[in-house]
Amino acid sequence: MSATLPRSAAETPLSYAAVGATQAPDLLYFPPKGFRPMQVRARLGSGQARFEAASSRLMAWGVQRGAGIRVGEIQPPAPSETDWAGLRYDETGVPLGPLAVHPEQAYGEDGTPLVTAGTTAELTISAFGLKVTAPVRVVYLVDEPGRLGFAYGTLPGHPESGEESFVVEQLADGSVWIVIRAFSRPSSWIYRLGYPVLRFMQWRYTRRYLRALLPGRVPLAPATAADGPTGGR
């Protein structure tokens, strides 16, 4: 079972209307009408080095790939004069100015394009011996002091309709967490018939997402002389 992204994937409308609603503080209490909300979190460790390692892996599609999902057909957004990428902030949270709308594409260590706003991708999931392809588009980035992540929304052909965000954050006590928020519903009557199975698969992969950035799977960068004996700057 699969759905193929069209050649002009960057121009394909999302399959839901409430774009960006995963940022709403009251999402769990007032989700978009007809959608089921979800929020989970897991502790990943503590310290700046752990935050940097986890967030770097996250932005290279590490949560999805670490959960056993194939991430393919990654396509950067088509430039537009009306594009807006958000603001840059200093360490105290004061806005410094707008982010570059179309920065040069960056790549992970294995050559995978890093997550950027507007990027489309195909997520291929294995379910009961079948390959299910779920097209998505990155709808916003989170790049703030102590918080880094992104959210993607569903495109036509995805089994679900909705949005999911993945954010690594470091709290005031130094602890590092991954926070996943989402709202979703079956995308068609076919998937509504199999809703219990769809819910089970969502639960299964969410558990995998939470484990994908744990310390045993994401090593810290080697310490340098400037880091000192503990690797902390």
- Per domain, the residue ranges of the chain are 38-76+114-214
Buried b (16+ CB within 10 A) or exposed e, 160-199: bbbbbbbbbbbeeeeebbbbbbbbbbbbeeebeeeeeebe
Global confidence as pTM: 0.80
Q: Determine the pLDDT at residue 80.
A: 61
What is the 8-class DSSP label of residue 114?
Answer: P
Beta strands in 1-35 (DSSP E): none
Give residue-wise pLDDT tens across range 154-205: 999 898 999 999 999 999 999 999 999 999 998 888 777 877 777 888 888 9
Alpha-carbon distance 211 to 66, whole Å? 8
Give residue-wise pLDDT tens across range 61-86: 999 999 999 999 898 876 665 555 66
Give residue-wise pLDDT tens across range 11-60: 689 999 999 999 999 999 999 999 999 999 999 999 999 999 999 999 99
- The CA-CA-CA angle for residues 166, 152, 71, to 5°, reads 90
Q: Determine the pLDDT at residue 227.
A: 52
Residue 1 in this model has a pLDDT that exceeds 80: no
Query: How many whole angstroms from its chain centre is CA 192?
Result: 25
Q: Determine the pLDDT at residue 233.
A: 37
- What's the mean pLDDT in 196-216? 89
CATH class of 38-76+114-214: alpha beta
Give residue-wise pLDDT tens across range 141-162: 999 999 999 999 999 989 899 9
pLDDT classification of 216: cutoffs 50, 70, 90: confident
Q: Determine the pLDDT at residue 226.
A: 46
Q: Determine the pLDDT at residue 100.
A: 61
Q: Determine the pLDDT at residue 85.
A: 60
Q: Determine the pLDDT at residue 2.
A: 44
Q: Report in angstroms the alpha-carbon separations of 106 from 15, 65, 76, 226.
A: 28, 18, 11, 26
Looking at per-residue pLDDT, the higher value among 99 and 26 belongs to 26
Q: Determine the pLDDT at residue 22.
A: 96
Consecutive H or E run containing 175: strand 175-186
